[in-house]
Structure 1
Amino acid sequence: MGSKYYIFGAGAHGRVVYHSLSRSLDDNERIFYADDSRSLIDRMISGVRVVSASNIGLDSLLHLALGNNMLRKTLADRFKDKKMLSVEDPSAVVSSCASIQEGCFIGPGSIVQVGAFLGRHVIVNTSSVIEHDVILEDYVNICPGVVTGGRVKIGSSSFIGPGCVLLGRVTIGCSSIIGGGAVVTRDVPEGVVAYGNPAKVVRYVTDEDWSRAL
């Protein structure tokens, strides 16, 4: 019968992941959503059954489909004994010379070029371009339509908003938020919010900033 596939999180991002995964398999009946919420258990969402997270066996494959970087990290620690699945949409173009770690998602129409490195549980959303030798550390979230130049480095748990452009060789520190449409021309330190063209640091990140970003 083969392994079962579990997508933890039945929200909007989870449905996007399901669409990509289902187009890569010949037996979609092996795909389930998993969740902790009792109100969701046994419901059908977009034709897919939601089951309790306790159903995830050691021989199953699990993908954490939550846009919240911190929650994704917490769940990765919780499920560290499970086999993590990376999902690449069939329309994505991923170089055979790129390095993709466990639990990543690469969305429809995205490009990951030669020498790029994606850490654990990185999200590269629809139609984004990750150029050559870019480093995306663990739990980075790249929103739709982002374009990076070559040799960009983005620190762990940072969030890059929709339509951002990052010029080559810039570095984004850990846990920073780059607002949608920003053009990043110089390095951005860790733990800050930056936006605009050119992007400028406007404040340190707050919990409210994270809730808005996600």
Structure 2
Amino acid sequence: MMPQDLLPRQFQADCDRFYKRVIMATLNELAISSDVRGGEFFSLNEFLDNCEKQTSNLLAYEARRSFALILAALFERQLRTWARLHFAEGEKEKANTSNFGPLVLKIADQQTLDLSAASVHDTISELHLLANAVRHGHGPAVIQLRKSYPHFWSHLAEAALLECETRHLLSEFIQISDGDFVRYIRALTRFWGLADREAGATIDGPY
């Protein structure tokens, strides 16, 4: 058995551990308060309590954005490592230099991975675009994210959303739900499950 045959299983396990032990463990400690409000307060303690909830929410949202960025980066590193091992000698450099989107399609075609089922390709592409928007702030990625996946800003009223767009602050108000992370880990798990050709492969995880 060649070592690279075991990489998909290792990569799948790495994604699973990061999701369970880091992402979910941390987010469980960063509960989001739904009763943050504006306006007048009847006491200083009420005002300070509201401020604490608001800053805690901001931390929770920033943690979610950071974890999306790390999860996307983890998968991209894994993908490029796997591609270098499987590409022909004359094409190995493409694993380092190809853009992410074409690289996913190329290795999937070469290894006959069906990424259309369960929206694996679409979900991985969404995660990659989200990570770029988080990494770069205002720019092409966040503009495309806003166009393709408006649910990240569904918490904003129309006037607030327009102000964010005008002030180039869309990336600062991205809100990623626990459900989004479930979709992402399911897609990454299925990708590496499909790539795992050894006995006992796990295609879909218990998420």
Normalised TM-score (structure 2): 0.20
Q: Which has the higher strand share?
A: 1
Q: Which protein shows a greater Rg?
A: 2
Q: Which has the higher helix share?
A: 2
Normalised TM-score (structure 1): 0.20
